[in-house]
Structure 1
């Protein structure tokens, strides 16, 4: 089969690789109908996340048709079912899964020992996302093996097109969870840093959950225009002061709820000296991530507020104002997304016409064009916000 394969830093190729096979009675094989490039895939593209190996298959936003199953599907999945595959692999039986904490499943990471050394405890296995999370082949391919497939799937109605269903795999529930973590009240100002695909889903989720006003921060015109179309007040941080504008919008009190949809690769700007400092330390391997957004959030967030962090961080960060965070009494909520916890609500919103996640798609291309689309997405060329690939 064809698949997008990691060969090293900024080196993704469309290779011919071995077709996946059933390895366990709870496995299924999916014929991929659509997959996507995620912003967090760029962290792998740039080699900021450790434990990628040459030959690893990329991708964790995938959907398609079941073409083969193991012998122990427990009546939950059969050949011909149309499914979205969540990026988190869940067993459905461990203590964490029983609590709905699917992204920290205790059984699905087959490199549990490596994860425990990196994180203190294991987290769930993830598709196409380094050997720290199991080293599972990803879904930017013609076929995908799904472990624990009786639990790790989302059935979608035939009436729902791929373009609406695909993002149930990651960015839609990620944006929704980030907004839910904010405990939004009708009097709240919710601010979203970063208007990429996840940020766009955060914006629409916050609007649906009833925020008084939603503010979106970015520097790319096309992203800010999309955010404005979704109901947000926009701030271009290269053209105006984020702090001054947020004080103006909140009568000097600061926003109650802040969402970091940027993560470890904050934009580097001479107008923001800490971003230059972070980039220099990152290049010298003295710091993993660039946490400018987190610093700014801690500074502007209203005392007693909530900071929600869907943006991916990989390791150590420097110069964090924890004294400020503690004295302001801020609550932090983080984590990979518990995708299946939110599935029923999101499918209902799509079916009722209250949410159409396909708005974020700007490019649809063949899988074989994937390597070029990674570069286009990285460089934000051709107003690229979200790429869908068709095997």
Structure 2
């Protein structure tokens, strides 16, 4: 079959790879109908995530049609449309029973690297390097889905493919942050990043009763989407001082909740951007932290901060003193898709979760390298490139 593969730093190619097969009785095989780029893929593309190998199939956010099921699969049948969580979880371990699916003890068959990095290994993730399981990705004609009864969800009638696609990762990531940080009715919420995850975090905050949601970015097409489709207020950080604008918008107090949805390659204005970029390129630090630093300084005293953006290692100049002295609560997580996807699909069926607008550039899989260039360089207003195998 054809698949879009990582072939080196900032290099991809469509190659012929072996078709997937059933390896475990709980597996299902899915014919991929739609698969999309994600901001966290850019960390792989740029060589910032360890344990990538030339020829690895990319892609972790997808939906498709079941074409084969293992003998132990009970919830799915051939011909069914499904959306699949990007994180692989067994559904049986202690963490899965606590609904902390991205921390599954059995989803990552290659735990040694992340155990060395972080003390413990999280679950596995499709196409997110061999450190996160070495699973083949979704930018392909077919994909093997382990623990099919746990990670795959039937797409309800009335939900089109393009809308359902973003229930795989972007929407449940946003829901993870908004839920776990404990957004309460009446909260003012600020979200750094107006990409797909940032927009979904803003939407999830609104669904949980936030009085006001403000999204921060510099790209006009993304800010316009956050206003038009999500109903959020916006701040362009390239033209405004974000902490000052947020204090002004909240009577001088600052947001109750800050959600960082940018991650390890954050852009910023001023001297900190070249400083962070040079240190990252020289591998003197692994992550650029401009957005999370700004979120810490912007959050009100006693407020809550959730880190949704992907970080991999060491962050320079993290303002721990501000965290402690302001009395902030800080949480972070990879998304617990299996926990939130059913709710999201139900809301999609009722028309409450708009996502199709995120797919600004839809193209055949054969044009995958062009799609990733557009997505990485933010050309032609590209918010997400979506591939049709």
Q: TM-score, normalised by structure 1?
A: 0.97
Gaps of 5+ in 2: none
Q: Where does residue 165 of structure 2 map in the other structure?
A: 166
Q: Where does residue 181 of structure 1 map in the other structure?
A: 180
Q: Where does residue 70 of structure 1 map in the other structure?
A: 70
Q: Where does residue 327 of structure 1 map in the other structure?
A: 325
Q: CA deviation digits over 1:4-27, x for unaligned, max 9?
A: 101110111111111111111111
Tell me if the contact between 2:104 and 2:122 (Cα under 8 Å) persists in the aligned partners: yes
Which runs of structure 2 are paired with 1:101-180 in the superposition (5 Å)? 101-180=100-179
Whole-Å separation in 1 of the counterparts to 2:224 and 2:151? 35
By how many angstroms is 1:268 displaced? 4.4
Aligned counterpart for 1:313 among listed residues 311, 314, 325: 311
Whole-Å separation in 2 of the counterparts to 1:65 and 1:187? 41
Q: Where does residue 27 of structure 1 map in the other structure?
A: 27
By how many angstroms is 1:56 displaced? 0.5
Tell me if the contact between 1:247 and 1:254 (Cα under 8 Å) persists in the aligned partners: yes
- Mean Cα deviation higher: 214-223 or 180-189: 180-189
Q: Where does residue 276 of structure 1 map in the other structure?
A: 274
Q: Where does residue 236 of structure 2 map in the other structure?
A: 236
By how many angstroms is 1:69 displaced? 1.6
Which runs of structure 2 are paired with 1:239-250 in the superposition (5 Å)? 239-250=239-250
Q: Secondary structure at the match of 2:40?
A: helix
- Mean Cα deviation higher: 302-311 or 179-188: 179-188
Whole-Å separation in 1 of the counterparts to 2:185 and 2:98? 28
Is 1:199–2:198 an aligned residue pair?
yes
Q: Secondary structure at the match of 1:116?
A: helix
Whole-Å separation in 1 of the counterparts to 2:257 and 2:149? 37
Cα RMSD after superposing both structures: 1.2
By how many angstroms is 1:61 displaced? 0.7
Q: Where does residue 291 of structure 2 map in the other structure?
A: 293
Tell me if the contact between 1:64 and 1:84 (Cα under 8 Å) persists in the aligned partners: yes
Tell me if the contact between 1:200 and 1:360 (Cα under 8 Å) persists in the aligned partners: no
Whole-Å separation in 1 of the counterparts to 2:117 and 2:76? 34
Q: CA deviation digits over 1:37-64, x for unaligned, max 9?
A: 1111111111111111111100001111
Q: Where does residue 367 of structure 1 map in the other structure?
A: 365
Whole-Å separation in 2 of the counterparts to 1:336 and 1:193? 17
Q: Where does residue 212 of structure 2 map in the other structure?
A: 213
Whole-Å separation in 2 of the counterparts to 1:186 and 1:23? 47
Q: Secondary structure at the match of 1:3?
A: strand
Tell me if the contact between 1:137 and 1:144 (Cα under 8 Å) persists in the aligned partners: yes
Q: CA deviation digits over 1:101-138, x for unaligned, max 9?
A: 10011011110222211221111111000011111000
- Mean Cα deviation higher: 209-218 or 150-159: 150-159
Q: TM-score, normalised by structure 2?
A: 0.97
Q: CA deviation digits over 1:241-267, x for unaligned, max 9?
A: 112111110111111100101010111
Q: Where does residue 18 of structure 2 map in the other structure?
A: 18
Q: Secondary structure at the match of 1:169?
A: coil
Q: CA deviation digits over 1:216-242, x for unaligned, max 9?
A: 111111111111112122111111111
Gaps of 5+ in 1: none
Q: Secondary structure at the match of 1:277?
A: helix
Whole-Å separation in 2 of the counterparts to 1:25 and 1:243? 53
Q: Secondary structure at the match of 1:234?
A: strand
Whole-Å separation in 2 of the counterparts to 1:246 and 1:356? 26
Aligned residue-pair number = 388
Tell me if the contact between 1:268 and 1:279 (Cα under 8 Å) persists in the aligned partners: no
Q: CA deviation digits over 1:158-209, x for unaligned, max 9?
A: 4321111111110011111112223222332100111111111112222222
